[in-house]
Copies of this chain bind each other. A is one copy, B any other.
Amino acid sequence: MLRPQHHLLSPPATISPSSAVSFPPLPPRVLPLRRRGAGTGTPLRGKTSSAVRASSAPGATESEVVVVVAHREVVRALASRAEARLGARLLPSAVPPDVAEFRSGGAGNAVGSLDVRRGAPGSTIDFMLQSSLHCKVPNGAIDITSLLIFLNASTDAPHFLMEIIQGSPTSIVVILDLLPRKDLGLHPEYIEKYYESTQVDKLREKIEELPQTRLYRSQSLFVRSAFSPTAILISIDCGQGGESTLEEIVYGQLATVANELLQIWLDCCADRASEMEEGERESMLKRDQIVRSKSIEVDLTSNLPRMFDPDVASRVIAEIRKAFGVEEA
């Protein structure tokens, strides 16, 4: 998950007062969304509606108004494209209902959803994980949306990872990478195969050209080390009154870049098994295991319990550990 720890622990200082946005009780299906063509790769530049806003979900009563977060729509559309392409290589969702959707029992200020689909036997897919978390904080809310598609030991190709953290209606942090599975210092040919010949660095350059972007650096040195040298690690801050600008960027350039990266991953990484010597495969598996364990430790086990009641948090963490294939430390 590689979630930047301090965003959850201490929300960005720029969080704006939420006076304009209310966070009403959520409908039974957490945050059902009106799909808006996001994630199709077509920039929707003309849009001007606000990034976080209230709208009626189909079938929702007046008290069940939903908050539509632009970035979540984009990530979900992306996930749908991946699902369509991977087809039968993904098994049906196998997450218990109380993990598929969960909320904090007490204060009721946090809701979340988690979906995990394992890869079918014989495929290169280990699992595909989607999650979204929404948590009220004193000055507003934090929304975190993740899409991870991890590969198994039949290939050494990078995993796909996207995570967006929204701490205010005008700013987000974007983490988007093809997560390497080998030591790049030891394997220049791996860089050539998956990062140079695919020209993924151009996508990073494209999004970083936007004047609203700043490089984002995780506080965890391990998390920083885990990313590829072409990782998109940025904050996009549109400043006061920049709600509609942020939404335009999210539905526009961000959706385009994320779609192109997913396409490259689907075409060049997800399809084929790699020939490897047994020792090479073992070493890759060991590395994978450490990256997964360490990410969960840095990320979820320290953060989820701060957002959700302990029993909810541990239920969700257990399910993520199961997907990641790592035991409790």
Contacts and interface: CB of A to CB of B under 8 A. Distances in A.
Nearest to A190: B225
A286 interface: yes
B221 A201 contact: yes
A276 interface: no
Dominant secondary structure at the A interface = helix
Interface residues of A, number: 25
A215 interface: yes
Interface in A229-245: 229-230
A225 B286 contact: no
A195 interface: yes
A34 interface: no
Contacts of A228: 225
Interface in A167-185: 180, 183-185
Nearest to A229: B224
A306 to B, nearest CB: 22
Interface stretch (A123-131, A247-255, A287-295): A287-295
A226 interface: yes
Interface string A184-219: 111010010001100001000000000000010000
Contacts of A215: 215
Number of copies: 2
A27 to B, nearest CB: 41
A185 B229 contact: no
A130 B201 CA distance: 32
Nearest to A214: B215
A82 B5 CA distance: 37
Contact of A191 (B185, B221, B229, B283): B221
A184 B229 contact: no
A284 to B, nearest CB: 10
A291 B185 contact: yes
Q: Which of A183, A185, A224, A291 has the most CB of B within 10 A?
A: A185
Nearest to A225: B184
Nearest to A204: B217
A116 to B, nearest CB: 23
A86 B57 CA distance: 70
Contacts of A230: 221
B287 A188 contact: no
A231 to B, nearest CB: 10
Contacts of A222: 184, 188, 191
Nearest to A223: B229
A20 to B, nearest CB: 33
Nearest to A186: B287
A180, A188, A191, A291 — which one has the most chain B CB atoms within 10 A of its CB?
A188
6 contacts: A183-B183, A184-B225, A185-B226, A188-B290, A215-B215, A224-B229
Given A185-B225, A186-B283, 15 more contacts: A180-B185, A183-B185, A183-B186, A185-B287, A186-B286, A188-B222, A188-B290, A191-B221, A191-B225, A195-B221, A196-B221, A215-B215, A221-B229, A224-B229, A225-B229
Nearest 8 A-B pairs (CB), nearest first? A183-B183, A224-B229, A184-B225, A221-B229, A186-B287, A225-B229, A191-B221, A188-B222
